[in-house]
Structure 1
Amino acid sequence: MLVPAAKAQDSFFPIWGDEAEKLGYTLPKPYGLSISYMDMSNPITVDSIVLRGHPLLEAIDVDANKAHFTGSNITVRGDVWIFPFMNVYGILGYTKGESKAKINSVSCDQAKFSKWNLGCAVVNAVGSRLPESAEFNLKMDGGTYGIGTTLAGGVGDWFALLDMNYTYTSISAIDGDIRTFVAAPRIGHRWQYDSGRELRVFVGAMYQSIDQYLSGDLASLGLPSVVNAVVDKLAPDASFEVSQHSNQKWNGTLGAQYAFNRDWDVLVEAGFGDRKSMFVALGRRF
């Protein structure tokens, strides 16, 4: 991640590496490859739920504005130190998750029909008396890819860095995507030992903006049976569109990285607050 106590290997990268060494800085090997696993839990806001396929469905309003997302991903990351203070990397991985939202009520807008509609009246009659267990459940998984950069610096054994990345996940089970931007400032201290071993402990914060756009077969949404019964009779091929985003963008982080030598290191980081996460990575430098 940062500054192992050894000379950088001969390479075109990092640019200005020789100048940095002459000033007394120690540099990591320029190229890196790591594999990581992350588990996360995050409250989200449902911006809209739109039903398609029949005029009656399009008149239905589903009140379920709060949801909870849990998920995990495994990624492979390749990186290079372009400058002594700037690392750039690419991400390729797999993400899976589940979003659950309690349905407060289901209603139908009679004003959207030229005359009184029986189906709409039925929805209104039962939609306000849903059981406590009524919820919609979205299960999603797909490939993730993205790019990022880390800006780093330090004084003595103290260091600071800012990591930023953007990832895109294409959902395979249903149509849609997850777009995530992350910015994570951290500060920490390092301890150096024999044989190139090094321990770094850091604290920080993480800004994470997540936007999810999902659509698919209405039967897979897990709506109450009264809505599904209406759907089966009116439009068996009915669909849905859901837009939702993370409503807690900042959380705290605490982590540590241990370098076994100049080649191998392991990183563990925990996120706490309304959004919780656990991140583990094994890295190799070249």
Structure 2
Amino acid sequence: MNKLLVGLALLGGSAVSSHVSALEFAADDDLRQQVERDKNEAHWSGLPVWGDKVREMGYELPIPVGIGIYMNSQDVEYIANDDFKIAATNGLLGKAGDHCNIWQDCTTNYSIPKSDVDILGQDKSIQLRLDAWVFPFLNVYGLLGYTEGSKDIQVDLSNAEMEGDPFPITGVQFTLPLEYKAYNVGLGAVLAGQVEIAEGINPIIITAAGAITNSWTTTTDSTILTTIGAVRVGQRYDVPYGKLAVLLGYQYQSISQNVTGSIDLGVIAEELHFDVDLESKETSNMSVAMVYDFGYQKEWNIMAEYSFLNWDQLIVALGYRF
């Protein structure tokens, strides 16, 4: 929300074109003010609440209702919350126990300490977002999304238990590669405001956001719960054909997932059943974002945000307000 400085665009013109008459200047000024009034008239939805009062104070409000497509890519490290339980049928792991007969199918159970399990995940998702400014300072939104992801679970059996006894061989390691597709729903909210510093200096924009999403995977028996929080601070500038906001942010992201299912690892195990609870290793990150609003009523916007420090993440979005 940027405070309107009525007639600011006319100051340079009056200095360059001294022959413009007072009548022409007044007519031009009236026209510009009428355009601004039209742009800030009450919305068909009646939102936001208290919008008329805020406009009377001279503030420009965004169009209250919007829809957007968000594309997200991130690489995240995870840790196991508890010991990793696997049951191997046949193969080297399945027939490693003394209870097995090499001529018959055999299943051997293992318990691996969580400290000997490393997980690296990669996710790419597309989200459809519908939002509304309920109050001039509060935006609420809903998400529907689709994700394609993978997790490489690296397991060290040096300290594992096999059927309750210590695993007899040290230095045995293997990787459990998991690929999945998921569908998610989510809800979120954004608080937004600005601080006036001094005349002639763009206001400082401050936003605080929070969201929670739940995903259901189609290729493993898993659910993914993601909780997100962010605080962003920056400024908004007049640029050709629109306005550009540049924001520096702090992010909180917590991802927890229960992963169960089975996979064929060939000679290691013809069928390996697994069960582990995961959570993101790091929860804090930094980000830099840019939002470009354009169109007659700033109804279109493009957003890009890159997150760095503890994990890499890139979000690109296209939105339309109506």
State whether TM-score is above 0.5.
yes
Q: How does 1:99-248 map to 2 (within 5 A)?
A: 99-105=151-157, 107-109=160-162, 112=164, 124-126=167-169, 128-130=170-172, 134-156=174-196, 157-193=203-239, 197-217=242-262, 219-220=263-264, 222=265, 225-226=267-268, 228=269, 232=270, 239-248=273-282
Determine the C-alpha separation between the residues in 1 that align with 2:162 and 2:2.
62
1:33/1:77 contact within 8 Å kept = yes
Q: C-alpha distance in 2, partners of 1:8/1:32? A: 16
In the TM superposition, what is the alpha-carbon distance from 1:53 to its structure 2 partner?
Answer: 8.9
Q: 2:143 aligns with which of 59, 73, 91?
A: 91
Check whether the contact 2:3–2:60 (CA below 8 A) recurs between aligned residues: yes
Q: Distance in 2 between matches of 1:248 and 1:73?
A: 20
| TM-score when normalising by structure 2 | 0.74
**Structure 1-normalised TM-score?**
0.83
Q: 1:70 is matched with which residue?
A: 122
CA distance in 2, matches of 1:267, 1:193: 15
Looking at both structures, which has the greater relative contact order when contacts are Cα pairs under 8 Å and sequence separation is at least 6? 1
Letter in 1 for 2:179: K
Q: Deviations over 1:83-139 (max 9, x none)?
A: 0000000000101111113222163355x4xxxxxxx68xx234x2325xx211221
CA shift digits 1:219-256 (9 cap, x unpaired): 25x5x844x1xxx5xxx6x6321210001000000010
Q: Do the aligned partners of residues 153 and 146 (structure 1) sit closer, same or farther apart at CA in structure 2, a change above 3 Å counting?
A: same
Quote the offset at 1:146 in angstroms.
Answer: 0.4
- SS state of the match for residue 222, structure 2? strand
Give RMSD over aligned pairs.
Answer: 2.5
Q: CA deviation at 1:259?
A: 1.0
2:190 partner SS: strand
Q: Are 1:276 and 2:312 counterparts? A: yes
Contact 1:37/1:75, CA 8 A, preserved across alignment:
yes
Could you say which residue in structure 2 is the equivalent of 1:256?
290
Cα distance 1:215–1:170, how it changes in 2: closer, same or farther (>3 A)?
Answer: same
Tell me by how many angstroms 1:24 deviates.
2.1
Corresponding residue pairs, total = 260
SS at match of 1:267: strand
- Give the share of equivalent positions with the same residue, in percent: 26
- The AA in structure 2 aligned to 1:108 is E
Tell me which residue corresponds to 1:8. 40
Q: In 2, are the aligned partners of 1:3 and 1:28 still within 8 Å (CA)?
A: no
Aligned residue number for residue 265 of structure 1:
301
Structure 2 residue 74 is the aligned partner of structure 1 residue 40: yes
CA distance in 1, matches of 2:240, 2:261: 57
What displacement does 1:21 show? 1.2
Letter in 2 for 1:169: S
Q: CA deviation at 1:193?
A: 4.2
SS of 1:21 mapped into structure 2: helix
Q: Which has the larger radius of gyration?
A: 2
Aligned 8 A contact 1:50 1:58 in 2: no
